[in-house]
Chain A
Amino acid sequence: MSAVPLIEVRSITKYYGSVIALKDISMICYAGEVMCLLGDNGAGKSTLIKMLSGMHKPDAGKILLDGEEVVFQSPRSALNRGIATVYQDLATVPLMSITRNFFMGREPVRGWGPFQRFDIAASDKIAQREMLNIGIDVRDPGQAVGTLSGGERQCLAIARAIYFGAKVLILDEPTSALGVHQAAVVLRYVMEAKARGLAVIFISHNVHHAYPVGDRFTILNRGRSEGTFEKAEITREQVMLMMAGGRELEQLTAELDGAQGGEHIK
């Protein structure tokens, strides 16, 4: 593990009008590591990744890539610096072919000037090969992505990010819409990305999906960080308790116990 984290977020703060979406969040992720960002709905996970992927700019704090401060003007500029974000449902276009999706926005061209053309034959081969590498055998890379399963679509989006040289892979709830089997397919591929030396930021509210693949866990709750923990330091149950609801559940348990205690006194 190198000394300089591949990506670092330092005391980042974001306001939406009068709402404090994120307050003083810090987080680091090294190459070849899966960093899980956990939290319940509304905890600020999406806000954080929107800043990392260049969609929003932070109101305070900074983002460091390879130890160097970066400011992203657009998703494209984050992409060009090697930060690829795969969104839950917004990664692929169902009506387009696998090849067209794979190269969407970064089509290889042949020819010159106005006669430049999208090199479909070469693209088909690459797309088919890359899909096979992740264990999805597509006979026809010209078939619509809509014919793939949800897990396969997520894998395609991840494979695409890796193929185009992403150094940091941000996965926004990649498994939350998937069934158990499909989620396992995606999780296995997350491990593969990690093995290839990518820094993976895995956003989830599902501890059962995040815990097995994660190396470290940053837990967000109502816009604030509950801290970052190594896997060795924390159990699955503790993670769950720390996410929003955990404390509330404790409180609820205590109240119920208290009520029962009261009855005993009577």
Chain B
Amino acid sequence: MAERDLPVARDADERVREVRLLVKILSRPELGALAGTILIFLFFGIVAGDSGMFSMKGIMIFLEVSAQLGILAVFVSLLMIAGEFDLSVGSMIGFAGVAIAIPMQQFGWPLWAAITLAFGLAVVVGYINGLIVVRTKLPSFIVTLAALFILRGLTLGITRLMTGRTQVSGLRPLFEDDWLAPLFAGDVFQSLFLWLASVDAIRTRTDGLPLAPGVPVSVIWWLVLSALATWLLLRTKFGNWIFATGGDVLAARNAGVPVERVKILLFIGTACGATLFAAIQVLDAGSADTQRGLLKEFEAIIAVVVGGTLLTGGYGSAVGAALGALIFGTVQMGIFFTGVNTDWFKVFVGTMVLVAVLFNNFIRRRMTEAR
């Protein structure tokens, strides 16, 4: 029987490949996150539809929460696709925050100089992280875990040394009229929102101004960075190098991809992403705190993994990471709006991570097994 079947099997095997549409769709990394996003919105649309979550104000609240994490997640996704982790981004947020705040408060630096300093430090931190990882070939997990503690410690030590406290506050008057501040904090499309309020399309305060003053500028950063990162990944030479580096570092090196440079640049990217996050937070709150960014490294990894990026690298998407952040932010705020005890949020996050990883593994098997 086996002998009779053989020629048939051979004909099917020889050089003729059917690429089924379903397989093609399934092989998009952000598919799971997209499905998840739709589910989450359906769910909260039903249970929290009349709680104000989907009013303009509510939408802006959960978008802003998502956007801040999303900015971080986009950079982390690029690094993770290249096969490395950065656990130091949370500490980097705190570090960059005080690097902006202290020079302004203590030395009267202008905002632009303080922000330039913070980004300069981010480049140094990212470069050192990357250099240690590529030179020693140690897992980035452990190298950046060290950086997590060193940076947090430095942040605390330096801040207390310079200011005697662990918080740098009262910054608002220092940047209130600064030309650079609107780039990081505040809202855009304010006139549009005013008009919407005037025609009663969105809710207003008692004085007639819209309840949501505009779109938080962080949301714009999030959207622009996600789009740029997606373009970088899918349509540039460097993007191909990122996939190659994460997919198989030796094959990439053999093919002439400068894998070390790719990794170092992406470590610099995550540190800069954390600094952008910090700048937005400092200008938004008017203060810096040494404890800012705590656990953000894990939240970013969660958003990236939920977005379909493999923990082992070589496969993933920046759009997915943006959607992962959206899911994270929406659920975090959604639970608040529905009035459910927020303790349950973490149970949900953990379950979501587990489901996402299992799903990603399934996709990878589909991708790599010979059909």
A residues touching B (Cβ–Cβ < 8 Å)? 75-76, 79, 85, 87, 90-96, 100, 103-107, 109, 116-118, 120, 135-140, 143-144, 146-149, 160
Contact = CB atoms under 8 A, between A and B. Distances in A.
A8 B364 CA distance: 44
Q: Tell which of B240, B241, B248, B255 has the most Cβ of chain A within 10 Å.
A: B255
Secondary structure call for the A interface:
loop
Contacts, number: 107
A96 B247 CA distance: 7
Given A137-B15, A146-B367, A117 B236 contact: yes
Nearest to A85: B254
Contacts of B15: 135-137
B357 interface: no
Q: Tell which of B16, B254, B369 has the most Cβ of chain A within 10 Å.
A: B254
Interface in B260-303: none
Nearest to B241: A105
B135 interface: no
B235 interface: yes
A146 B315 CA distance: 12
A149 B255 CA distance: 20
A96 B248 CA distance: 10
28 contacts: A75-B253, A75-B254, A79-B256, A85-B254, A87-B251, A87-B254, A91-B254, A92-B248, A93-B252, A94-B367, A95-B247, A95-B367, A96-B243, A96-B314, A103-B240, A104-B240, A106-B255, A107-B237, A109-B237, A117-B231, A118-B236, A137-B16, A138-B17, A139-B18, A140-B17, A143-B17, A147-B370, A160-B255
Given A95-B310, A104-B257, 9 more contacts: A93-B244, A93-B251, A94-B248, A105-B241, A106-B256, A117-B231, A118-B237, A118-B240, A146-B367
Contacts of B370: 146-149
B205 interface: no
Contacts of B237: 107, 109, 116, 118
A104 B368 CA distance: 18
Contacts of B334: none
Given A109-B237, A117-B236, A143-B19, A95 B314 contact: yes
A95 B368 contact: yes
A87 B253 CA distance: 12
Interface of B: 15-19, 24, 27, 231, 235-237, 239-241, 243-244, 247-248, 250-258, 310, 314-315, 364, 367-371
Contacts of A148: 370
A100 B27 CA distance: 15
Contacts of B251: 87, 90-93, 104
Contacts of A104: 240, 244, 251-252, 255-257
B232 to A, nearest CB: 10
Given A118-B237, A139-B19, A146-B368, A93 B248 contact: yes
B271 to A, nearest CB: 21
A176 to B, nearest CB: 17
Given A76-B256, A118-B235, A148-B370, A107 B240 contact: yes
Contact of A100 (B24, B240, B258, B367): B240
A160 B255 CA distance: 10
A92 B256 CA distance: 12
A198 to B, nearest CB: 18
Contacts of B364: 95
Nearest to B237: A107
Contact of A120 (B235, B243, B367): B235
Contacts of A75: 253-254, 256
A93 B17 contact: no
Contacts of A90: 248, 250-251, 254
Contact of B247 (A79, A87, A94, A107): A94
Contacts of B24: 140
B369 to A, nearest CB: 7
Nearest to B231: A117
B368 A116 contact: no
Contacts of A117: 231, 235-236
Nearest to A153: B370
Contacts of B255: 91, 104-106, 160
Contacts of A105: 241, 244, 252, 255-257
Contacts of A106: 255-256
Nearest to A106: B256
A147 B371 contact: yes
Given A109-B237, A139-B17, A93 B243 contact: yes
Contacts of A79: 256
A253 B250 CA distance: 43
